[in-house]
């Protein structure tokens, strides 16, 4: 009887470890897709100015410093956790291309109201990261590291943006024929930002995650800057 219980506990531990690592991999894959979109997208100087790029490079340097510093496993300092959220929001703000509507076959299947909200592949990345994070948390990936800062605030912000967007649509659509995409776009943007702010501050320092997000978020900001300086949008 004891041996059966021991065997069952071992199988559960192995399954739990597998779910934990699978969740971590999905988080990395999702963030990588977001980073690819940020690097791929070109911006006009009128939309992203040199002072704004300068601010991003400062954050990129801080992200790389945090990523290469010791103490990447376990409970992370508050500044490290908040920095991951700031870096993710900056990278997400650079994501516009490639558009999902531009992907062969997929673009033809998208509803018009969704395509007109201009979702990029970053949305797919965020969804993958979110699903991975749910598996990660379910496997105990955040146990013993305290509550994640800003998670409730992020959820509240997403709810408020969604609520006000729907209210504005209900109020303005009858008189001004407000398109549904004008309501959907801010909801999608809030969802993406809120999801990353909810995921990263709690996941960094965990098994399979550590401070890797700091490294590739920092590198992404630098590469996006180089891409836009070498191949500027006219």
- Mean pLDDT lowest among 7-21, 104-118, 207-221: 7-21
Residue 233 is predicted with a pLDDT of 78
Joined tokens for residue 134: 């749910």
For the chain, give the mean pLDDT: 89
What pTM, to 2 d.p., does this model score? Answer: 0.90
- Mean pLDDT lowest among 21-25, 49-53, 168-172: 168-172
Above 70 in pLDDT, residue 49?
yes
Q: Which residues pair with 99 in a beta bridge?
A: 120
What phi and psi values does residue 103 have, to the nearest 5 degrees? -80, 125
What phi and psi values does residue 120 have, to the nearest 5 degrees? -105, 180
Joined tokens for residue 30: 């999702």
What phi and psi values does residue 117 have, to the nearest 5 degrees? -85, 0
Number of domains in the chain: 1
Residue 4 is predicted with a pLDDT of 41
- d(CA 51, CA 137) in angstroms, rounded, equals 38
Q: Which candidate, 60, 28, 65, places its Cα nearest to that of 204?
A: 28
C-alpha distance across the termini of the chain, in Å = 73
What phi and psi values does residue 67 have, to the nearest 5 degrees? -65, -35
Residue 12 is predicted with a pLDDT of 40
Averaged pLDDT, 36-64: 94
**158 vs 7, more confident:** 158
- d(CA 124, CA 92) in angstroms, rounded, equals 12
pLDDT confidence bin for 185, thresholds 50/70/90: very high
- d(CA 80, CA 57) in angstroms, rounded, equals 17
Virtual torsion, Cα 117, 165, 34, 113, nearest 10 deg: -20
Domain ranges, residue 54: 2-230
pLDDT confidence bin for 18, thresholds 50/70/90: confident
């Amino acid at each position: 009887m004891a041996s059966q219980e021991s065997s069952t506990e071992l199988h559960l531990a192995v399954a739990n470890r597998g779910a934990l690592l699978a969740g971590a991999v999905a988080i990395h894959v999702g963030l990588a897709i977001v980073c690819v979109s940020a690097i791929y997208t070109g911006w006009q100087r009128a939309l992203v100015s040199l002072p704004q790029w300068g601010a991003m490079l400062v954050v990129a340097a801080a992200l790389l410093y945090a990523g290469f510093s010791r103490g990447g496993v376990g409970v992370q300092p508050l500044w490290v956790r908040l920095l991951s959220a700031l870096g993710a929001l900056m990278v997400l703000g650079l994501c516009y291309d490639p558009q999902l509507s531009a992907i062969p076959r997929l673009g033809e299947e998208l509803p018009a109201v969704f395509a007109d909200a201009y979702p990029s592949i970053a949305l797919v990345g965020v969804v993958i990261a979110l699903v991975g994070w749910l598996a990660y948390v379910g496997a105990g990936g955040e146990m013993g590291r305290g509550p994640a800062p800003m998670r409730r605030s992020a959820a509240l912000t997403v709810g408020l943006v969604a609520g006000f967007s729907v209210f504005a649509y209900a109020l303005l659509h009858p008189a001004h024929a407000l398109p549904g995409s004008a309501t959907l776009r801010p909801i999608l943007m809030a969802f993406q930002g809120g999801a990353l702010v909810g995921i990263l501050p709690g996941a960094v320092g965990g098994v399979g995650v550590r401070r890797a997000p700091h490294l590739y978020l920092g590198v992404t900001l630098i590469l996006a800057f180089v891409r836009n300086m070498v191949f500027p949008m006219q």
